[in-house]
Structure 1
């Protein structure tokens, strides 16, 4: 078994993120496994290492899973810029993912192949339909929404 990420945790500046992460972790995923009260929007909690600070950052991310791999969609609601954790994943690709009671380590890989991107994008939209609205917003701002596949670390 691989050791989990260690270090100082710096909570999000956004209250709803802090609340969601705390509820998820304190109940082993029995509560807080959904986004903003919507049980049809399942989430996992991903812990990454800050690219600049080196501190642990935790975020609820939509649960898009296929054959033991997960997807992290760097949508930021279609904003013109990437979410902060995007850079964290590039600089420190080993992340901790919690889907239920036990966290595990995964390696984040940015999808660069268009066919793989399209396949995972479709899965993401099936789980969380608002992604379909985020894509044209991001593209209008000159940004393609990055997708990361998270694969288990042995």
Structure 2
């Protein structure tokens, strides 16, 4: 039987750095900077088994999601912000408000079994697309609470961002 996901974050979303990070991330330049930092952050997350991240000091909840490539069959790992809801983790394919869905979302649609690395734990998960509009809005509002950048991302694109509920196997 699947259990609760770990609920450990470090840093604080109320410190000065955190208050500055969200408005910066909401800009196109800030999104570009985050894209540049993502490979380095992935290495920090991988080496610390999801315990530490470059965004840790701002209290950002980040996990590593490892999916199976829909064409290649290879494993692909992506750091993502998430919303924690006890026995469910939500992730959204914002792609910084880009016009294309991120590849990891197509991978999950093709093969919904993945691995989450969070707080030192490696957990097998099943990903279910979140299609109920009320649930999607409620969860998306929680992403905006984490970072106002999500509101900016939504405003940059006409596509409906794919959202997934991750549950432990």
Structure with the higher fraction of residues in helix conformation: 2
TM-score tier by shorter-chain length is 0.7 to 0.9
Instruction: Give deviations 1:19-67, integer Å, cap 9, x for gaps.
Output: 22221121233322x54x7523221111000111110000100031112
Larger relative strand fraction: 1
Determine if contact 1:64/1:124 at 8 Å carries over to the other structure.
yes
Match of 1:112 among 131, 156, 164: 131
Matched positions, count = 137
| Residue range with higher mean Cα deviation, 68-77 or 37-46 | 37-46
What residue number does 1:148 align with? 164
Match runs of 1:1-154 below 5 Å: 16-32=37-53, 34-35=54-55, 39-139=58-158, 143-153=159-169
Distance in 2, matches of 1:81 and 1:30, equals: 30
Distance 1:73 1:151 in 2: 15
- Structure 1 residues 15 and 77, CA, compared in 2 at 3 Å: closer, same or farther? closer
Give TM-score, length-normalised by structure 2.
0.74
Aligned Cα RMSD in Å?
A: 2.1
Q: Distance in 2 between matches of 1:45 and 1:146?
A: 17
Gaps of 5+ in 2: 3-34
TM-score using structure 1 length? 0.80
**Is contact 1:96-1:103 (8 Å) kept?**
yes
Report if aligned partners of 2:51, 2:118 keep a CA contact under 8 Å in 1: no
Find the counterpart in structure 2 of residue 10 from structure 1: none
- Structure 1: stretches of 5+ with no match in the other structure: 3-13
CA distance in 2: counterparts of 1:29 and 1:39, whole angstroms:
15
